[in-house]
Structure 1
Amino acid sequence: MPEGKIVKALSGFYYVLHNEELTQCRGRGVFRKNKITPLVGDEVVFQAENDLEGYILEVKERKNELVRPPIANVDQAILVFSAVEPDFSTVLLDRFLVLVEFNHIEPLICITKMDLATANQKQKIAEFAEQYKTAGYEVILTSSETEAGIKELNPHVQNKISVFAGQSGVGKSSLLNVLRPGLELKTNDISSHLGRGKHTTRHVELIKIGNGLIADTPGFSSLEFNNIDAEDLTACFPELQLASKNCKFRGCLHVTEPKCGVKQEVDSGGIPAYRYKHYLDFLQEIKDRKPRY
């Protein structure tokens, strides 16, 4: 039986890429019975009724999966945030980073619309970029208008499945249009009334960029830490995880414990205060979460 990758899911159909050709497939009824939902990114075994139609018979084991957006086997999450319109938000970026780190997906931070930023805004963004780089993250500053940073970004998307993530209106579709000229994805201007963008992507689809695949998604519709426990959170902040090796007590949550390596690093300026504050806020949110039964 042929095997391929689901690159698009729409209206109950799954479009499987095999030998550079797409086959429109439906899932077998056994998937519903076993509560298996094929996802974009899945490696599958399928049976082709003809050149255009077929059925998915088996979904191969996944290395990871996201629920919102629904996608599997992601190598990298490109977190797209704008310098302005909407303004850059460290708390929202850190929320995305925690979710990505928890799912063991490699993050890359991409800050767009640098051409619209004032000199002061550019300086502030550059400072944030250096702080995130110090924490261990790759950060690329880009502009879809001037194409600044595009040559730097392009090698990072090759030979990988990447997912574009970020709030609406930051320019994800515009960035994809520059990475692959002729793609012509629909884009919308940001709403001046709401201060945020309108969603232009309605479904998950893997788009070929050179030797890589990028998922243009409707965005993360849930940014809650439903599956993350308090003990998991430190590992989602790389610089906190590193500093925690100097904590006196195993299982230290870096709140009120004595001789805490993380708090010492914050006090010395080695960890930015806002990163530590976001950690504490997220930790409290997790602790306040209603118990699951």
Structure 2
Amino acid sequence: MAKSCHNGSIPAMLAAFPFSAHLREAVLFPVSTGEISFQWSDLSFPFMRFRRIGFEISAKSRLFKASARWHQANMTEIPDHTTPEAPASPATGDSLQATRILRDAIVSCVLPPGARLSEVVLARDFDIGRGALRAALRALQESGLVSSSPRSGWRVTPVSAPEIREVCAARRHLEPILTTATLDELAREKLAALAGRHAALMQRFDDDPTGSAAIRAAEREIIESVAEALSMPMVQGWLNDLWDRSVRLVNFFEDTGPVRYTPAPRARLVQALTEGRRNEALEHLQAANRALETWLLERFLESGARVQSGRPAPARRRRAAQVTS
């Protein structure tokens, strides 16, 4: 018995296929061949099955293409440097240690100003994991010691007159808060001992050309101890960044020129703070900052042509600088 074609589903099915008008009419009306009489609508079941299979193939194809696009976007090889747009990694013990290692190398000019930093070379030479290394470079970028660009990768911040003015201006505005530190008896005793050591080193400054590093280390202990007494971790972090950048500038110009920087007599600062003479302590900080800015700008003007031209570092630094090649 022939199936009826007037169920309303066949025309809708045919509308989805690019058949000719003659074929659509043949499906809707019975045809006689003489001995065999049948209706084209008997083919409705094969057509519907063909359509269902086609939809399944199309869905699987779309799923495969979407999976391929996701794999291409998320499973590609990580580049040798991290661009500024990449998300920062959370700080871990390894990343904090890596930050200290690289910070010391930059401040001491083992990694000289303007040097390009390869993650592969840094990880190998400093024995740092790639994940901790990227987190450390991010932290140093926030401190102003390195910079990054999509094309050039990581780079140690170059020495420039704007940087000198920025560092000194920031210290001029932020360091006066040190005069508000509340010192207990233990802090006073510690500062007195540090001040005595700093004064002893200063007495041998002219006779010991290699004593600058020891004097700066003693000076740093003094001002860090005062900053710690503020109980302001964020402010202390800002000050540490500024002091690191200042020491880096001094190290660079001392390593590349004949003039040494004369440190400020920090024993006077300690005496003023422990005796409660805040105005005197403030005057000391301001005078020390003015002397530093003047010295840095004079050294920059003397060596500006060499700094801007990017000529090689002196022989004693050239070997250390090879870690960036």
Instruction: Give the TM-score of the pair, scaled to structure 2.
Output: 0.20
Greater relative contact order structure (CA < 8 Å, 6+ sep): 2
Return the TM-score normalized by structure 1. 0.21
Relative to its length, the structure with more strand (as a share) is 1
Larger fraction in helix = 2
